[in-house]
Amino acid sequence: MPVDPRRPSVRPRPLRAAAVFAALALLVSGCVASKQATPVDDDGPTAATDLPANFDSLLPEGLDPAFRDYYAQQVTWDGCIGGRLECATVSIPVSWRDASLGSASLEVVRSPARGESVGSILVNPGGPGGSGIDFIESAVGLVSREVTEVYDLVSFDPRGVGRSTPVECVDDDVLDRMTQTDHDVRTAEGRASFEAEQKTFADGCLARTGTLLGNVDTASAAHDMDLLRVLVRDESLQYLGYSYGTQLGAAYAGQFPERVGRLVLDGAVDITQTSDEASLGQAKGFELALRNYVTSCQAGAQCPLTGDVDSGLQLIHDLTERALANPLPTDDDARPLTRNLAFYGIAVALYSDASWPYLTAALRLALVEGDGTGLLQLADMYNDRQPDGSFGTNSFSAFRAVGCADSRGSTDLATMEADRLKILEVAPTLGESFAFGGLVCKDWPTPVAEVDYDISAKGAAPIVVIGTTGDPATPYASAEALAATLDSATLLTWEGEGHTAYGRSNSCIQGAVDAYFLDGTVPAEGLVC
Active site residues: 243, 471, 499
CA-angle at 301, arms to 299 and 305, nearest 5°: 70
Residue 7 has φ and ψ, to the nearest 5°, of -60, -45
DSSP string, 208-230: HHGGGGGG-SHHHHHHHHHHHHH
Burial of 78 (0-12, 13-18, 19+ CB in 10 A): exposed
CA atoms within 13 A on the CB side of 519: 6
Chain length of the chain: 529
Burial call 377-408: b when 16+ CB within 10 Å, e when fewer:
bbbbbbbbbeeeeebebbbbbbbbbbbbbbbb
Residue 336 one-letter amino acid: P
- By the 10 Å C-beta count (0-12 exposed, 13-18 middle, 19+ buried), 368 is classed as exposed
- Interacting residues of 460 by C-beta distance below 8 A, sequence separation 6+: 253, 257, 258, 260, 263, 486, 487, 488
Is 526 exposed, middle or buried (CB count within 10 Å of its CB: 0-12, 13-18, 19+)? exposed
In angstroms, the CA 474 to CA 462 distance is 22
In a 3-state reduction of DSSP, which class is residue 369? helix
233-247 as b/e: b if 16+ CB within 10 A: ebebbbbbbbbbbbb
- Where b means 16+ CB within 10 Å and e means fewer, 93-125 reads bbbbeebebbbbbbbbbbbbbeeeeebbbbbbb
Q: Are the beta carbons of 401 and 209 closer than 8 angstroms?
A: yes
